[in-house]
Amino acid sequence: RATFLQEYQPPAYFIERTELAFDLYEDYTTVLANLHCLRNADSTADNSLFLHGEELELQSLAIDGRPLAEDEYQISDKGLLIHRVPEQFELSIGTRILPQDNASLEGLYKSNKMFCTQCEAEGFRKITYYLDRPDVMSEFTVTIEAEQARYPVLLSNGNAIHEESLANGRHRVRWHDPHPKPSYLFALVAGDLHYIEDHFHTMGGREVCLRIFVEAKDLGKCQHAMDSLKKSMRWDEEVYGREYDLDIFNIVAVDDFNMGAMENKSLNIFNSSCVLCSPETTTDAGFQTVEAIVAHEYFHNWSGNRVTCRDWFQLSLKEGFTVFRDAEFSADMGSRTVKRVADATVLRSHQFAEDAGPMAHPVRPESFIEISNFYTLTVYEKGAEVVRMIHTLLGAEAFRRGSDLYFERHDGQAVTCEDFVRAMEDASGVDLTQFRRWYSQAGTPLVTVRDDYDAEAERYTLTVTQSCPPTPGQPHKEPMLIPLAMGLLGEAGNLPLKLAGQAPDAETADNTSTVLLLSEPEQHFVFEQVRERPVPSLLRGFSAPVRLDYNYSRAELCALMSRDDDGFVRWDAAQQLALSVLDEIQQQLTDGQEPSVDPLYLDACASLLADTSLDPALVAEMLRLPTESYLAELAAAEGADVELIHRAREALETALAQHAESQWLDAYRRSVVNAPYAPVAEQIAARSLRNLSLYYLACAKAQHIGLAQAQYAAATNMTDRLAALRVISQRGTQQQSDEALDSFYRDWQHDSLVINQWLQLQSAMPGEGALARVRSLMDHEAFDLRNPNKVRALVAGFSNNNSLQFHRPDGAGYAFLAEVIEQLNTRNPQIASRLLNPLTRWRNYRPDRGELMKAQLERLAALPDLSVDVYEVVSKSLQD
């Protein structure tokens, strides 16, 4: 049954203080909750009290010390209903739970030998009966008791206020968090943990003790996370004026975790893959992920914790804003353009697909069956783009006034997306009425641009139309307010812009870029004194999450690619050019011709590669071909043909490899990094281009595998080692590939996070044997179905990155995925549900494949014990 935004009711009771006492044992845990409750004077509800609770064994229940008789309450699998409660009372609840058997990784569970929690969104109800909703905020005091030898470290939110050793080999620690918080921000950790420690002086003079807790073996992998944390704390002070508000900040790494990390107040819990790193074991991308996620969780302290969400429909209030904040942080720490390209790529290849699929929902959804299914690219990444557009519309200064007002006005409150937008409006005076549709309308708008140049009048006119396709429950869309950043490119560079009817912008001397505001289904923008026919440079910096349609000629794309001022547009032009060439190759293949690649494209790539004045990271991104899954997504309307896509892409890859072989070799040689490894932009850029060159060289000639083998043997960091291994495993002979993979396993079998990369790499290996390899790896000692990182690496790796083999004509790839989903359905529904994603796209493929995909969804739909998580995705995918 679905929950609706429309049905929101404020809580009938508040819990002003929450006292929890945990007694942790190997075969059970007891939780004693003392809840200081108070009726909400504004509520018109009756005087019964319903508390959420799942998988709990109730042991005692009392109000103000008086045990309740059996007829005074009722228990269901959703919670506890107390028929009558006073205006103000202390409710005492004793429950027993089984964390050691909790495979859902939600609530209190065990990972390796430690206890840990994950409560967002609705996991706290698996710990005790509670008003498990974010608009009930409470001051928590938590007492943890456990065996001292096994669990020397006992952590919760806030400050440790009491510690004692008990006679029986057990010990007890009490924590108090002075900041009222909703239950989803509660955390508890108990284990044999070790830490590194550092300090941060806040701008207001507070000395904060920073600790990262890990297993002893991982102590050497914490420094980068610590550095990232300190940078994040400083950045949030400088850019947003936000200061940390307690004397301690703890991070804990756990191996079994459904998502990346969790922003529990002062006790962030991280998937170990998102916090641990070292040059020997972690790639550049891994280092960047750690930096970004540490920052993301830290930034939540204000955008999420101090100001939280009223209900889960408002999830993007904290997630969209926080992703925007972490993206800007990453842009400031590394290369801004490369970060923007990476984010736009994720959006276009995955979020647009979500927006066009059966699970499409607005940034602020209107209903859900299982909230875990709405931790999506739409809520996170599109939500961040919506905040970015507000930043663009207001300008940096007014945006900062808006965020100051938002934090000041709502500190300590649980609020809505509307409250955020209103603060932005109030602080800036900008009317965001129409802009609000970004929160309520699902689907990706299509912006179509046509132009006309009147040489005589030196007038250039852009005609811009917008539309948005229907999505489930939303057949008709209203026009959006879309900021379209643009410029005009002439022969000698970008032209000064003079929009008709607008005074020239006095403030900016360099007026070659502007933001057009699209608000109508069709609009005209007229530029005066345009002395030559320009090439429009559109959607600069990816200024809005829209599809853009303009009929560029290949020559125009080459011009943008080589000369436009905007890095994003240059990259995008290279992508569009590749897409256009790929289209042509597909046509040739369909007509039974030998593919021939337009030399215009190949020459443009070769000169790009030879231009040493450019940022090597951006060059690498420009020369990376679109993925097969993105190409399938683009072909969805006609029904994607996976084999055709694969053959066309291979043909282009080979042509590009061979045409520019000497340039690849030169790029490979010149971008070697001689300095000791550091995850800094300059080195990352060099390695990125070097490893892409290695890949293309192996595509050009089999003998270049020797370069990869030499690089593999000499590598002193994981970036270079894994890149070489990937090339050998994808392009080498069977024997070369087996030898390298075996030697890698022998070297790294002791390090689970490294082995995940080994699993993921193999999941993407080409050839008929791919599925058999993945199946046999599931029986490998290194695999563990209970560990989400391993499942993601191998199973999601295969279904998402091995398009051709996942979409085998016999349907065996789909059957395999469905089998794994079936196994995880009851054990870990969140992961099972996420694995479904590729199958939900069944309508995008040719009917022969689409029907086979659909058949697996139907098989899953018929399972007797279907979890709500899987049910929601499967049933929505099958709806017509």
Residues that bind ligand ARG (CB under 6 A): 120-121, 258-263, 296-297, 319, 372, 375, 830
Residues β-bridged to residue 525: 462
Which helix (H) or strand (E) covers residue 350, if one does? none
Q: 258 to each of 99, 106, 109, 763, how far by Cα in Å?
A: 16, 8, 12, 20
CA 514 – CA 386 distance, rounded (Å): 19
Residue 785 sits at φ, ψ, to 5 deg, of -65, -20
Closest CB 305 distance from ligand ARG, rounded Å: 10
Which helix (H) or strand (E) covers residue 668, if one does? helix 661-670
Which of Zn ion, ligand ARG, none binds 856 (CB below 5-8 Å, type-dependent)?
A: none
Which CB, 89 or 375, lies closer to ligand ARG? 375
Closest CB 371 distance from ligand ARG, rounded Å: 8
Which CB, 274 or 622, lies closer to ligand ARG? 274
The pair of structure tokens assigned to 40 is 């909400």
Which CB, 323 or 569, lies closer to Zn ion? 323
- Using alpha carbons, select from 382, 248, 286, 373 the residue that is nearest to residue 327: 382
Which CB, 331 or 855, lies closer to Zn ion? 331
Which CB, 187 or 860, lies closer to ligand ARG? 187
Q: Sign of the C-alpha dihedral, residues 663, 668, 674, 675? A: positive
Q: How many Cβ atoms from other residues are within 10 Å of residue 62's Cβ?
A: 15
590 by Cβ neighbours in 10 Å (0-12 / 13-18 / 19+) ranks as exposed
Q: Site residues (CB under 5 A) for Zn ion?
A: 319, 322
The pair of structure tokens assigned to 613 is 């004045």
Which CB, 322 or 691, lies closer to Zn ion? 322
Contact 686, 671 (CB under 8 A): yes
At 767, the amino acid letter reads: G
Which of Zn ion, ligand ARG, none binds 512 (CB below 5-8 Å, type-dependent)?
A: none
Which CB, 322 or 833, lies closer to Zn ion? 322
Which CB, 263 or 343, lies closer to ligand ARG? 263
Q: What is the DSSP string of 422-472?
A: HHHHHHH----TGGGHHHH--S--EEEEEEEEETTTTEEEEEEEEE---BT
Measured from each CB, the residue nearest to ligand ARG is 375
Q: What is the DSSP string of 384-405?
A: HHHHHHHHHHH-HHHHHHHHHH
Q: Sign of the C-alpha dihedral, residues 361, 829, 212, 208? A: positive
CA angle, corner 10, sides to 6 and 15, nearest 5?
A: 145
Contact 206, 169 (CB under 8 A): no
Closest CB 301 distance from Zn ion, rounded Å: 11
Round to the nearest angstrom and report the end-to-end CA distance of the chain. Answer: 19
State the DSSP code for 719.
H
Which of ligand ARG, Zn ion, none binds 262 (CB below 5-8 Å, type-dependent)?
A: ligand ARG
CA 870 – CA 861 distance, rounded (Å): 8
Which CB, 177 or 297, lies closer to ligand ARG? 297
Q: Which residues contact 650 (CB under 8 A, 6 or more apart)?
A: none
Closest CB 753 distance from Zn ion, rounded Å: 22
Closest CB 467 distance from ligand ARG, rounded Å: 32
**CA dihedral of 67, 69, 75, 80, whole degrees rounded to 10:** -40
Which CB, 259 or 698, lies closer to ligand ARG? 259
**Cα–chain center distance at 179:** 28
Which CB, 232 or 322, lies closer to Zn ion? 322
DSSP E strand boundaries for 25-158:
29-39, 49-52, 57-63, 66-67, 73-75, 79-82, 88-97, 107-111, 114-118, 138-147, 153-156
Q: Which residues contact 761 (CB under 8 A, 6 or more apart)?
A: 722, 725, 726, 729
Closest CB 123 distance from ligand ARG, rounded Å: 7
SS3 829: helix
User: How many distinct helices (H) and strands (E) make up the chain?
Assistant: 30, 32
CA 764 – CA 777 distance, rounded (Å): 13
Q: 442 to each of 254, 375, 475, 515, 869, how far by Cα in Å?
A: 35, 15, 10, 23, 21
Closest CB 119 distance from Zn ion, rounded Å: 14
Which CB, 119 or 577, lies closer to ligand ARG? 119
Closest CB 323 distance from Zn ion, rounded Å: 7
Question: Could you confirm whether 297 is annotated as catalytic?
Answer: yes
Looking only at the bridges linking them, the beta strands covering 66-67 and 57-63 are: antiparallel
Instruction: Given the residues 120, 145, 291, 297, select the one marked as catalytic.
Output: 297
Q: At what angle do helices 616-623 and 599-610 cross, to 10 degrees?
A: 160
Residues β-bridged to residue 90: 36
CA angle, corner 340, sides to 339 and 344, nearest 5?
A: 120
State the DSSP code for 842.
G
Which CB, 288 or 372, lies closer to ligand ARG? 372
Which of Zn ion, ligand ARG, none binds 261 (CB below 5-8 Å, type-dependent)?
A: ligand ARG
Closest CB 296 distance from ligand ARG, rounded Å: 6
Closest CB 260 distance from Zn ion, rounded Å: 8
**Active-site residue list:** 297
